[in-house]
Amino acid sequence: MGYKIGNIQIDNILSLAPMAGVTNIAYRKMCKKYGAGVVTTEMISDKGIFYNDKKTKMLGMIDDFEHPVGIQIFGGDLETLIFAAKWVDEETNADFIDINMGCPVLKVLKSNAGSKYLLDVDRIYKTVDSIVKNVKKPVTVKIRIGYDHNSINAIEVCNAIIKANASAIAIHGRTKSDLYSGEVNYQIIKEIKEQHPNFPIIANGNIDSPQKAKQVLDYTKCDGLMIGRASYGNPFIFKQINHYLKYNELLDDLKIADRINILLDYAKDLIFYKGELMAMKELRGQAGWFIKNCPNSSKIRAQLSSINTFDDLKNILNLTIFEN
């Protein structure tokens, strides 16, 4: 098992999906620690890079522990997208540049970016081709299978991306209009892999258990699997999937106390990079993931949604362990 992104050897086939507002540097390191093979930053605005916005550029900060790691960029204007790609290429220690052509969020679509690309295959080719020709690092692309169910065109899109000399494609098996619900179309991912047996294809969408991971891998014959929302509050899923693929046996889920300890370690790391107040603001929306299925979880989540300090977080979590 394994594949290459350009000249970068990938031996661990599990990737952490780039997720806006989630895959910060501390989150990526946490998932890497528990078995993610490849990680990618949350999407970074080409305009933010072009106008030298410090907060935007901070999103591209990478720790040596993360490699192999990619920086994902998005934008609807070719000139500034190329500028952003060259910045990643020349000014960061990322291993590859990922182009977001799948985000279904309205704000991104309004900027003519994300899934909006899926409406114009020629534009996709021109964009990827132009970026590849302007950088030295490998270029990967994240897509969905189509803009809606009347325009499922992932085969044509992938043909264009491969023709433009990208190095890998991650395919989310839903359309833009599906957002994150409904059935995932693994059939079309399988067909694309069959047509391009020597090109790295990573399957994404609803891979939420070791058994599902093996099922998708066996069915699509893809080179890699990308895990997104299933990692929320449970980075241990990467270790579980890796173990199951290797030994065909299931590791037990973590106990609540173990998940809370992971959260506390994650919080400390996030504070190191972002400062206490900013870290706690981010964790207001994330901390609740780690106490999923815990008794009184809705009450605890409500308390976590207003934390301001690490002590606030620790006191709520210590009480949670005591009560459970």
Q: Which residues are catalytic?
A: 103
The DSSP line for 163-217 is: HTT-SEEEEEEEEGGGTT-S---HHHHHHHHHH-TTS-EEEESS--SHHHHHHHH
Q: How far apart are CA 228 and CA 65, in angstroms?
A: 20
What's the number of CA atoms in the CB half-sphere (13 Å) around residue 323?
Answer: 13
User: 238 near 14, Cβ under 8 Å?
Assistant: yes
Of 283, 292, 293, 291, the residue nearest 313 (C-alpha) = 283
∠ CA 72-77-82, nearest 5°, is 55
Beta strands in the chain (DSSP E): 3-5, 8-10, 14-16, 39-40, 44-45, 69-74, 96-101, 139-146, 168-175, 201-204, 224-227
Distances (CA, A) of 122 to 119, 156, 158: 9, 10, 12
Instruction: Report d(CA 176, CA 205) in Å as an integer.
Output: 12
String of DSSP letters for 3-14: EEETTEEE-S-E
| 8 A C-beta contact, residue 28 and residue 64 | no
Contact 88, 61 (CB under 8 A): no
- Cα–Cα distance measured from residue 303 to residue 224, given in angstroms and rounded to the nearest whole number: 38
Q: Cα–Cα distance between 265 and 267 in angstroms, integer?
A: 5
For residue 43, give the DSSP letter.
P
Q: Confirm if 290 and 297 have CB atoms less than 8 A apart.
A: no
Q: How far apart are CA 128 and CA 5, in angstroms?
A: 15
